[in-house]
Structure 1
Amino acid sequence: MATIRCLRNHLFNRNDLKKSPLISLISLRNLNYASKEYNEKDPSPLFFNKETQSLLKTLTRINLDVVFRRRKMGQRLLSIPTQKFLTEDQLQEAMRDAENQVENIIQIPPVIKIRKPIDVIISCDPALKGLEESKMVFTDITFGLNNSERLIVIREPCGTLRHADWDTRERMNQIYFPLQGKKYRIPQMFQDIYFEDLLKRKEYKFILDKTCVQFEPDSVEYQKFTSITYQYINDNHHFDCLRSTRHFGSMCFFLVWHKIIDNLLLELIQTENVTEANVLLNLYCKIHNVRLDFKETDDLVSVEEYIAKYSEKKAPLELAVQAYKELLRERIELEKGIKRAHGVV
């Protein structure tokens, strides 16, 4: 039989069960960004599609130096490195283990539709009205249950028995089954002034890592902070700050979903990563069910077609394409000149 425990509302300071702490904690007004949630169409079927995952992984552009770079670990001590002499077979096995480790490190956080509020009344018992002055929370603490499936109910002072809302559920789960790194209360870093300061310092990976730990991917808070971070990165062209991390794929999916890929496309052209630009446009076509002419002999055909049909920043993209063509032309002329200088026809 499931074990039931009760917590009175006075255990939670400032009437936490009466209102969401997010409302009084976060405003984000100074950033001038609107939160963009996945609240209409469900993105998960497209996101978890194997082809989509392959495209996002290609765009992530895995760099082992970045994947295994030094991280901010707080008070955690770094392990002492070890040196080993390996045979060729052992070396190959170690390399395979490292590749599997990379796959785990850059695992893209899930992109799913925002969850619906819980507002389900189980029963109304007027006879219990006034029995208690505060709300009573009952939590099923049976081990082995998924936290999202755990039964958590609230008895109101008026006698109404209802299912707990998402904020209460997360607090109760964190009390009885604490997750490593997650705080019972929302950390101060998500307050307006501190969050803006972190963005200005380009601490994007730190923000997104903490967001993944503190919030569920289908929560309003998670999608608010990730969407604002992605928009800030996009507006400031700081894509390299996330490249080769687990969050780059999520950001690409977000930009494509909301049709704001022009800055990323511009960056890929300017850095001569036209193949990745075509991968990005391939993802755009898959998500929005449009068609572009992809030709293996000319990587710029699809790019120019996208600019003509769908781009909102045609001028800078057209200039970037023209500059890229000029660069290719100069390289071809240079190669011809070198061959002529060496007597190669």
Structure 2
Amino acid sequence: MSLLRYVRRLNALQGLQHCRREVSSAPAKSATLKYDQDPQPLFTDSETQRLLQSMTQLQLDKVFRKRTVKDNRSETKFMTNEQLETEFLQIIEKAKHLLKMPPIVKIKQDTERIIAKDPALKDFATTKYVFTDITFGLPHSERKVVVRETDGTLAYASLDTTKRMNQLYFPLEGRKSYTPRMFAYEELLHKCLEEHKYEFVLDRLTVQYEPYETEFHNLSARVFEHLNESKQFDLLRSTRHFGPMAFFYAWHRCIDDLLYDMIRRDYLHNAVELIALTYKIHKIPVEYTETLAKLEALHPTPDESALSELRGFLRRPEEKQGIEQEIHTAIGKTEQDFAADDISLKFIEEYIASEHSLKKVQLELAVQTLKEINLEKLQLFQGLKKAHGVQAS
């Protein structure tokens, strides 16, 4: 009697689990914005890469922030100034490596590629045979995987089979042989997005899927669309995903929210670069190279800024800054910065006045607010320099 009761309880539990699976197995929704043609030529263009890397910014404190990883130890070393300078350069190179962007390529279509048909081998076996080239050191894209069908046909393996064989013989750390739950179930993905775990989702996505897979395109677009709604762009700044995000918005002509965020945070140089990228992608006949050249002449490169930040940690407390440097530190801007702001604001205002801007009122208010703040800073800057007898450079 107790055995019968146990069997009934087990059957009921299985039925409940089946119902749960039916409720929670809704696949993730597809994105509304998709690339209508191959984006790779434009994305890999040297000018595009330079613009995206500059927009990403090299914030060392964010790149090397503490993460929940297996090995999160710190190491202390005693170094000379020369050794420390070399270490700084290596740190910057490591940061640039960590900020390398995932490529944006077109979706690869799975096509049947038959090598040979051998009717004599028909029904030789009841299962397919998969042959994989396991040559060590060979890139996955060049590794040959072929399948012998039960009817004797020998053909190159499908993209999915090739990916699974590569993962079987040369496993990539973190990649699963099944679809992770966060990508398989819509409610789990939605929860991650609502909690603004954008970098976590994109990192997981980059490990699980190849850039040419449909899932990679759909899920990354979902993240970027949700991010454009939440306006939490700073969460991806100084990560390897900021560049692809900016490229996505520029491609689909929806840069205004990101542009507003850049203006609000006083990243005017990046705002100009974002507009220039849009002009470049859509071949809009607006001259932007001269403006970018002027700004690059006034602004230090990201590498120089990061190196200057690191060198600042070497300054001893008793080493006082010059009065001019103290004024620059207090105001947060230099004369070159004010000159660059004028150039940037003029370029941005021309974009806002054009037909390409979609949120003119919002952007105009942001520009006007920043102008007023900059004017107050400039007046204070000039007043302090005059009071301390510092000559204009």
Q: Same fold (TM over 0.5)?
A: yes
2:343 alignment partner in structure 1: 298
Contact residue 138 and residue 154 of structure 1 kept, 8 A: yes
1:133 alignment partner in structure 2: 126
Map of 1:48-63 to 2, 5 A cutoff? 48-63=44-59
Distance 1:99 1:274 in 2: 23
Contact residue 292 and residue 306 of structure 1 kept, 8 A: no
For 2:232, the aligned partner's letter is: H
Q: Does 1:153 align with 2:146?
A: yes
Distance 2:179 2:26 in 1: 10
Distance 1:197 1:168 in 2: 31
1:98 alignment partner in structure 2: 91
Q: Please identify, of 238-247 and 136-145, the stretch whose mean Cα deviation from structure 2 is larger.
A: 136-145
1:283-341 per-residue CA deviation (whole Å, 9 max, x = no partner) reads 22222222436556532222222222201222222222233333344545666888999
SS of corresponding position for 1:148: helix
Cα 1:126–1:102 shift into 2, 3 Å = same
Distance 2:25 2:117 in 1: 32
Contact residue 293 and residue 302 of structure 1 kept, 8 A: no
SS of corresponding position for 1:161: strand
Structure 2 residue corresponding to 1:34, chosen from 5, 27, 32? 32
For 2:344, the aligned partner's letter is: D
1:142 alignment partner in structure 2: 135
Q: Please identify, of 128-137 and 88-97, the stretch whose mean Cα deviation from structure 2 is larger.
A: 128-137
Deviation at 1:264, TM superposition (A): 0.4
Cα 1:180–1:281 shift into 2, 3 Å = same
1:4 alignment partner in structure 2: none
Cα 1:136–1:102 shift into 2, 3 Å = same
Map of 1:194-209 to 2, 5 A cutoff? 194-209=188-203
For 1:144, the aligned partner's letter is: G
2:336 alignment partner in structure 1: none
Distance 1:281 1:172 in 2: 43
Q: Does 1:273 align with 2:267?
A: yes
Contact residue 35 and residue 223 of structure 1 kept, 8 A: no
SS of corresponding position for 2:284: coil
2:365 alignment partner in structure 1: 319
Q: Which has the higher contact order (CA 8 A, sep 6+)?
A: 1
1:3 alignment partner in structure 2: none
Contact residue 26 and residue 190 of structure 1 kept, 8 A: no
2:245 alignment partner in structure 1: 251
1:12 alignment partner in structure 2: none
Distance 2:26 2:130 in 1: 26
Contact residue 293 and residue 305 of structure 1 kept, 8 A: no
Distance 1:86 1:279 in 2: 39
Contact residue 43 and residue 112 of structure 1 kept, 8 A: yes
Cα 1:261–1:121 shift into 2, 3 Å = same
Deviation at 1:165, TM superposition (A): 1.0
2:102 alignment partner in structure 1: 109
Map of 1:58-73 to 2, 5 A cutoff? 58-73=54-69
Q: Does 1:179 align with 2:225?
A: no
For 2:363, the aligned partner's letter is: L
Q: Does 1:78 align with 2:124?
A: no
Which of these two proteins has the greater Rg computed from alpha carbons? 2
Distance 2:380 2:171 in 1: 63
Distance 1:323 1:71 in 2: 36
Deviation at 1:174, TM superposition (A): 0.7
Distance 1:85 1:172 in 2: 47
For 1:304, the aligned partner's letter is: E
Deviation at 1:105, TM superposition (A): 1.0
Considering fraction of residues, name the structure with more helix.
2
How many pairs were matched up? 314
- TM value normalised by structure 1: 0.81
Contact residue 228 and residue 258 of structure 2 kept, 8 A: yes
Distance 1:58 1:181 in 2: 30
Contact residue 239 and residue 264 of structure 1 kept, 8 A: yes
2:234 alignment partner in structure 1: 240
5+ long unaligned stretches in structure 1: 1-23
Cα 1:200–1:121 shift into 2, 3 Å = same
Deviation at 1:181, TM superposition (A): 1.7
